[in-house]
Structure 1
Amino acid sequence: MVAPAVLIAVALAALLLGLAIGGAAAERTLLDPGVVVRFALPISRTIVNIAIAGLIGSVVMAVWALASEKPETRTAMDLAAGSAALLTVASAATLLFTYVDVSGLPFSGDATFGAGLAQFVTEVELGQLWLLELLLAAATTVMAFAIRERRLTLLVLVAALATTLPLAQQGHAAGSSGHAQAVNSLLVHLIGAAVWLGGLMTLVFVARVVDRKRLAVLTSRYSTLALFAFIGVAASGVVSAWLRVGDFDALFGTGYGQLVMWKTGALVVLGVFGAFQRTRLIPRIASSPNGGRVFGWLVVAELAVMGVASGIAGALGRTATPVSFEPAQDQGSGVTSAQWLTGDPLPPELTPMSYITGWKFDLAWTLVCAFGLALYIAAVIRLRRRGDRWPIGRSIAWFLGLAALFYTTNGPFNLYEQYLFSVHMLGHMMLTMVIPIALVLGAPITLLLRATEKRNDGSWGGREWVLWMVQTPYSKFITHPAVAAVVFVGSLWVFYFTPIFRWAMSEHLGHQWMIIHFLIGGYLFALSMIGIDPVPYRFPYPMRLITLFATMASHAFFGVTMMTGDSLMLADWFGAMGRTWGATPLADQSLGGGIAWGIGELPTLALALIVAVQWSRNDTKVQKRKDRAADRSGEAELHAYNEMLEKQAARDERAQKAQENARSV
């Protein structure tokens, strides 16, 4: 087909030009791998990026936009399987070229080359990441070829998204400054670009098996995805570029900076294409006789610009950055203990003002909050335009919950939690107790179900997926109040008294898992106690209060255990930071236990108060319902009850007289 050929040709041309501009095509003075590797490595890496885009974009379209029983979904999944297979081959090639590049050894079939390659993929982080990428790509290929059922396609989507993790980890050396921000930004960039480019590629292939009216519908759905992807790519591109460029002089005066500007220009052009697509193209596809031809030409032009961006991205990956990303462990004797452990310098002394002025921004969680706010507002506006009301209190609760989530993941908790156990514990309480209460009271699932229209074309949107998920056996299990309470309470003990704690503190992936786990665990517990959204089962109100008091006791016991402990948890972490300010590590740990015991109980008391209020309101509603039923039936139930009593009294009177007559005889 013309469009994919244009994409690949333009991407390769832009890659070669970018290598020349950035200087990566030039022969290196030390350990030069040769001209073949100098060009083959960035080419294979660019193919990896394009293959990931085809994989993720096609599966996302199959899950969210396409009808599962029609040829359009089969076409998309065939594209996903082919892209996954291409990713597997390209990952293997990139792994081999990368080893030759970093080792300086020429290609060879002897035992020395093989042994070195084996050591590279088992002991060197870069090799391990490429091996993981290869294995994930191979597993995803098998799944994409084997799975066609709608619900199981979610597994393919999860596997496809997982293939971006090793690439994001490679983009910034572990142990170097700004590692967490850079990895999250690159992850957002990779996923956003994949959905954007891959979704458009899917439209090209699907256009062959649908009519123009259906193509207009699918293009409209893709346009919504592309809008969110554009925002994510633009925001992450700015953050990633600034971390690597450092200042405006490097932006204009280095090859890397010039490539960044070229890529920015391509992004702006793509934004213009997207705006034209939403405002002018989609209405013309179905209504105009030339709509299909216009769509084809625009898609070819847009893919060409995407090819430019992809090629430049491949060149950027091989171009030296103005800002060095050398890990702290490799920087010599001037590195502090905090830098050695975290990669970042020790922050200034924590003071009360630090809770206002201390910030460490995380793009991924910022976008989560921004998108959550935007989608909620859009849903409320849609309800109001339809003439329906949405309680303002629920909106306020949702906004407060997102504001607290943004503050926790971007503010002083994120800045200091690696160095002070007490701050870490305070952030834990926010994630697992404070934020979930506000989010649950916002009733997002109820809002989604009310604001989203039901689809009738065989595809599943947000409404259909949510309705299915709520009724799955897993959902029924995990949302059961007893299970939610066990997860809520048990997570404290399992997390802090197992190696998971160390993993979450020292590894970026572990830290992100910690945030997600605490947030979901707290949300499920709050949902089972005070939730408005539908769940299969909730405890009666008295049992809810008993459950809450039991969790309070468990929190108190955990906090007291922390406060009275005489051994330091993660002594080689919190005790080795080299802090010259603040409490000693053991005293700080005791303070963290006090936070878990004292401050952590306040949200639980708030939950108990809300449960009591809901219980009271529920009794009032039940009584009002009974009163209205009595009014409608003219007190029929009461009259029937009185008649029953009268009949019972008459029977008793007759029985008594019969007994008296029997005695008289």
Structure 2
Amino acid sequence: MSTHVFESVTRFATRAAVPIVVILGLAAGLAAMLFTGAAEATLLNDPGPYVRFGLPAAKFVFNISMALTLGALMFALLILPRARGRGRSRKQAAAKTGAAEDEPLNGLWEKTLKIAEVASVVWTISAVGVLVLTMADTVGAQAYVDFSNQLGVFLTQIAFGQLWTLIVVLIAVASTLCFGTRSYLGIAIAGVLGVGAMIPLALMGHSAEASGHSQAVNSIGLHLVGVTIWLGGLFVIAILGSDLAKSAQLRTTIERYSSFALIAFAVVAYSGVVNSLLRVHSFDDLMTPYGQVIVAKALGTILLGLIGFWHRQFVIRRLGAAASAAREFWRLIVVEFVIFGATMGLAVALSRSQPPVPQEPVGDPSPAEILTGEPLPPPPSFARYFTEWSLDPLWVVVAVGLSAAYIAGFVNLRRRGDTWPIHRLVSWLLGMVLLVYVTSGGVRVYGEIQFSAHMIQHMLLVMVVPLPMVLGAPITMLMRGTKARTDGSRGVREWVLWLVHTPYMRFFAHPIFASVNFAGSLVVFYYSGVMKYALEWHLGHELMIIHFLGAGYLFAQALIGIDPGVKRPAYPLRLLMLLITMAFHAFFGISIMSSEVLIEGDWFGNIGADWGYSAIEDQQLGGGIAWGIGEFPTLFIAIMVAVQWSKSSDREARRIDRREARTDDAELRAYNDMLASMARQGR
């Protein structure tokens, strides 16, 4: 009887997962739109009821299919083993990560890819539907006049339409890969393209033109990624259903997904709070219909977090050992879908509703607000570089997440009795603190309006922040602090080690290329016009941070790194590389100091700040900063190279002493015998 009940609950959860979310989501979204007034016709140029109600419905289907597609790809890449029924020893797993391409595929893995195929087709079709309805919503009542011509103009000349066209193309290519490949690399590319489609979505998010644009874009992007991992994985578990329940992989699969879901919950909660604070500034704002929908959505998120906590603490550990635990697990899955469906519907309704805090640019903006979207900060001073903050949610999540992962690895090593130098832990955490400051502190605030402050941010990113990160030896920590997968699947550990040892990464990490990239990127960025995109485009700014942080990390890794994956030159050559690179760096700073031509004059020359010095004087100060700020990191790296050289010499001397002790000075005696023989021959 208990087995029959268990199978019944499993079948219900499997068949009802998608319908529950869709029906409840559409119902909750409709109710929320009626409550906030988003369903009412506009006074001027209303597009009609088909667009008013059809666009939110299409967006809802788009979001559900996006979550299901990327959730299935996540399971295929990070949770389920690709090969059928063949585990590996730790030594084999270390020697060859994952399954070979010609091995028979695991049935659950294949079914997961089938889920991704179907969901990606729905995702593509819904994206086209959202694109067309968005055009009609933008144009209004006139959209039905010469529809095809207006659609063509929207796709090719309007930024909104161009972004949606890019989204459709990315999704279509990802869908094609889902059908056309069963290799790890092909599926990984499909996943990257799918995640890449979220970037335009974040750029088009609510309040994209209001103050706090960077926080809004990054928080929306984080929210999309978190919800997709969380809900998409839940969908896959439910659809695999009875096949997963009957397999020996049930508990392992749920445990792995639970870890990702916990991270996703933290990201969703944090990004939701950040995004809500941009639209609701007071308790009175919470009392508006928009604020009450936010409260309802927050309560739904909290309930989902509590269910996840119950899973981790009381249910997962009993899976496979007790039928009651399995029944409880599937019942909770159904409850999660009920709450998730309602919460997703509320989210779509919020995207169509008007927040109580105006999201449009100010009526009479200053020059700084026109260029940056933010009010001009107070005049800079040494103290204000530490008191003015503009938190970047993306890099806060990156820094906190990497810090937590490193600490978890450190604790794991200590629990099993292994040692790990405490100074490496401190060094890594220091690097994360510096990363948050550089991306969210005073240098970021003033870096948007001052060339000198931008140069400080740049120099810290490329020369200071990477040093403690490299000395923290994160790859070595990952290898020692986490367990290797032995069932043929790939976790984060296996993917990182695969990436480190790819020919492409070895090329980029080669000391010569790392040095050229480190020094040459400065000239390219400041003298080729690339800097313009980092100033004007939010995505360009984030890519700038990623590039220069990576360039500095690879350069430091080539000189003083501890982690594997880099073939480092001899110590004298390292010092020579350092001197040549820093000499080039100094000439770069001098060239800016002596220049009378304003770099990106359309930006820095029109910022409207009257602080007692001109833009060209500030730029020349920035050149001096570029020249001078590199002296301290250079000295530090030189000292570290000398220390490592000395330690290497000591280790080599001890190795020779041990060898001679084992051989009773055989090499020395042979050398003396050779000299004696030569002396006898001479006589």
TM-score (norm 2): 0.92
Instruction: Write the letter of the residue equivalent to 1:586.
Output: I
Residue number among 56, 59, 65 corresponding to 1:51 in the alignment = 65
Find the counterpart in structure 1 of residue 151 from structure 2.
Answer: 117
Is 66-75 or 337-346 further displaced after alignment?
66-75
Find the counterpart in structure 1 of residue 29 from structure 2.
Answer: 15
Q: Does 1:340 align with 2:401?
A: no
**How far apart, in 2, do the equivalents of 1:584 and 1:272 lie?**
56
Instruction: Report if the CA contact (8 A) 2:80-2:253 is conserved.
Output: yes
Q: Does 1:6 align with 2:41?
A: no
Find the counterpart in structure 2 of residue 658 from structure 1.
Answer: none
Residue number among 254, 267, 271 corresponding to 1:232 in the alignment = 267
- Cα distance, 1:637 vs. partner? 2.0
Find the counterpart in structure 2 of residue 459 from structure 1.
Answer: 489
Q: Does 1:197 align with 2:231?
A: yes
Find the counterpart in structure 1 of residue 54 from structure 2.
Answer: 40
- Cα distance, 1:212 vs. partner? 4.9
Instruction: Write the letter of the residue equivalent to 1:241.
Output: S
Check 1:567–1:451 CA distance in 2 against 1; reply closer, same or farther (3 A cut): same
Find the counterpart in structure 1 of residue 384 from structure 2.
Answer: 354
CA RMSD after TM alignment: 1.5
Deviations 1:79-120 (A, max 9, x none): 222222211111111111111112123664x6x221111112
Q: Does 1:481 align with 2:481?
A: no
Instruction: Report if the CA contact (8 A) 1:68-1:149 is conserved.
Output: no
Is 38-47 or 130-139 further displaced after alignment?
130-139
Q: Does 1:184 align with 2:218?
A: yes
Instruction: Write the letter of the residue equivalent to 2:271.
Output: S
Deviations 1:112-145 (A, max 9, x none): 2211111122222222222221111111111222
Find the counterpart in structure 2 of residue 662 from structure 1.
Answer: none
Instruction: Write the letter of the residue equivalent to 2:294.
Output: V
Is 254-263 or 145-154 further displaced after alignment?
145-154
Alignment of 1:588-603 (within 5 A): 588-603=618-633
Deviations 1:536-573 (A, max 9, x none): 41111111000000011111110011000001011110
Find the counterpart in structure 2 of residue 86 from structure 1.
Answer: 122
**How far apart, in 2, do the equivalents of 1:582 and 1:512 lie?**
31
Alignment of 1:181-330 (within 5 A): 181-210=215-244, 211-252=246-287, 254-327=288-361
Deviations 1:337-372 (A, max 9, x none): 111111111111101110221111111111111111
**How far apart, in 2, do the equivalents of 1:490 and 1:531 lie?**
21
| Structure with greater Cα Rg | 1
Check 1:226–1:194 CA distance in 2 against 1; reply closer, same or farther (3 A cut): same
- Cα distance, 1:268 vs. partner? 0.7
Instruction: Write the letter of the residue equivalent to 2:272.
Output: G
Find the counterpart in structure 1 of residue 97 from structure 2.
Answer: none
Instruction: Report if the CA contact (8 A) 1:184-1:364 is conserved.
Output: yes
- Cα distance, 1:167 vs. partner? 1.0
Alignment of 1:54-65 (within 5 A): 54-65=68-79
Find the counterpart in structure 1 of residue 8 from structure 2.
Answer: none
Instruction: Report if the CA contact (8 A) 1:57-1:198 is conserved.
Output: yes
- Cα distance, 1:226 vs. partner? 0.6
Check 1:152–1:645 CA distance in 2 against 1; reply closer, same or farther (3 A cut): farther
Instruction: Report if the CA contact (8 A) 2:143-2:150 is conserved.
Output: no
Moved over 6 A (4+): none
Find the counterpart in structure 1 of residue 45 from structure 2.
Answer: 31
Gaps of 5+ in 2: 1-14, 84-105
Q: For residue 94 of structure 1, give the secondary structure of its aligned residue in structure 2.
A: helix
Q: For residue 317 of structure 1, give the secondary structure of its aligned residue in structure 2.
A: helix
**How far apart, in 2, do the equivalents of 1:599 and 1:536 lie?**
27
Instruction: Report if the CA contact (8 A) 2:177-2:186 is conserved.
Output: no
Gaps of 5+ in 1: 654-665
Instruction: Report if the CA contact (8 A) 1:213-1:285 is conserved.
Output: no
Is 641-650 or 299-308 further displaced after alignment?
641-650
**How far apart, in 2, do the equivalents of 1:497 and 1:72 lie?**
53
Find the counterpart in structure 2 of residue 609 from structure 1.
Answer: 639
**How far apart, in 2, do the equivalents of 1:292 and 1:76 lie?**
21
Q: Does 1:75 align with 2:111?
A: yes
Instruction: Report if the CA contact (8 A) 1:421-1:574 is conserved.
Output: yes
Check 1:303–1:174 CA distance in 2 against 1; reply closer, same or farther (3 A cut): closer
Instruction: Report if the CA contact (8 A) 2:81-2:487 is conserved.
Output: yes
Residue number among 406, 409, 427 corresponding to 1:379 in the alignment = 409
Find the counterpart in structure 2 of residue 573 from structure 1.
Answer: 603
Instruction: Write the letter of the residue equivalent to 1:362.
Output: D
Find the counterpart in structure 1 of residue 655 from structure 2.
Answer: 625
- Cα distance, 1:454 vs. partner? 1.5
Q: For residue 185 of structure 2, give the secondary structure of its aligned residue in structure 1.
A: coil
Residue number among 580, 584, 587 corresponding to 2:614 in the alignment = 584
Instruction: Write the letter of the residue equivalent to 1:5.
Output: P
- Cα distance, 1:77 vs. partner? 2.0
Instruction: Report if the CA contact (8 A) 2:73-2:113 is conserved.
Output: yes
Instruction: Write the letter of the residue equivalent to 1:35.
Output: P
Deviations 1:380-416 (A, max 9, x none): 0000001011001111111111111111111101111
Residue number among 138, 145, 159 corresponding to 2:193 in the alignment = 159
Alignment of 1:550-569 (within 5 A): 550-569=580-599
- Cα distance, 1:428 vs. partner? 0.5
Find the counterpart in structure 2 of residue 367 from structure 1.
Answer: 397
Instruction: Report if the CA contact (8 A) 1:105-1:113 is conserved.
Output: no
Find the counterpart in structure 2 of residue 657 from structure 1.
Answer: none
- Cα distance, 1:289 vs. partner? 2.6
- Cα distance, 1:283 vs. partner? 1.6
Instruction: Report if the CA contact (8 A) 1:19-1:318 is conserved.
Output: yes
- Cα distance, 1:582 vs. partner? 4.5
Instruction: Write the letter of the residue equivalent to 1:129.
Output: L
Residue number among 90, 98, 104 corresponding to 2:134 in the alignment = 98
Instruction: Report if the CA contact (8 A) 1:349-1:582 is conserved.
Output: no
**How far apart, in 2, do the equivalents of 1:546 and 1:267 lie?**
56
Instruction: Write the letter of the residue equivalent to 1:412.
Output: G
**How far apart, in 2, do the equivalents of 1:12 and 1:218 lie?**
30
Deviations 1:287-346 (A, max 9, x none): 113444333222111111111111101111111111222245xx3xx2111111111111
Instruction: Report if the CA contact (8 A) 1:555-1:601 is conserved.
Output: no
Deviations 1:162-200 (A, max 9, x none): 011111111145543111110000000000010000011
**How far apart, in 2, do the equivalents of 1:5 and 1:647 lie?**
93
Residue number among 445, 449, 458 corresponding to 1:419 in the alignment = 449
Is 133-142 or 560-569 further displaced after alignment?
133-142
Instruction: Report if the CA contact (8 A) 1:33-1:100 is conserved.
Output: yes
**How far apart, in 2, do the equivalents of 1:527 and 1:194 lie?**
34
Check 1:421–1:107 CA distance in 2 against 1; reply closer, same or farther (3 A cut): closer
Q: For residue 68 of structure 1, give the secondary structure of its aligned residue in structure 2.
A: coil
Find the counterpart in structure 1 of residue 99 from structure 2.
Answer: none
- Cα distance, 1:642 vs. partner? 2.0
State the identity as a percent.
42
Q: For residue 323 of structure 2, give the secondary structure of its aligned residue in structure 1.
A: coil
Q: For residue 44 of structure 1, give the secondary structure of its aligned residue in structure 2.
A: helix
Q: For residue 141 of structure 2, give the secondary structure of its aligned residue in structure 1.
A: coil
Find the counterpart in structure 2 of residue 659 from structure 1.
Answer: none
Q: Does 1:504 align with 2:534?
A: yes
**How far apart, in 1, do the equivalents of 2:115 and 2:626 lie?**
50
**How far apart, in 2, do the equivalents of 1:22 and 1:640 lie?**
93
Instruction: Write the letter of the residue equivalent to 1:488.
Output: F
**How far apart, in 1, do the equivalents of 2:624 and 2:16 lie?**
66
Is 188-197 or 243-252 further displaced after alignment?
243-252
Check 1:148–1:208 CA distance in 2 against 1; reply closer, same or farther (3 A cut): farther
**How far apart, in 1, do the equivalents of 2:305 and 2:623 lie?**
50
Instruction: Write the letter of the residue equivalent to 1:237.
Output: G
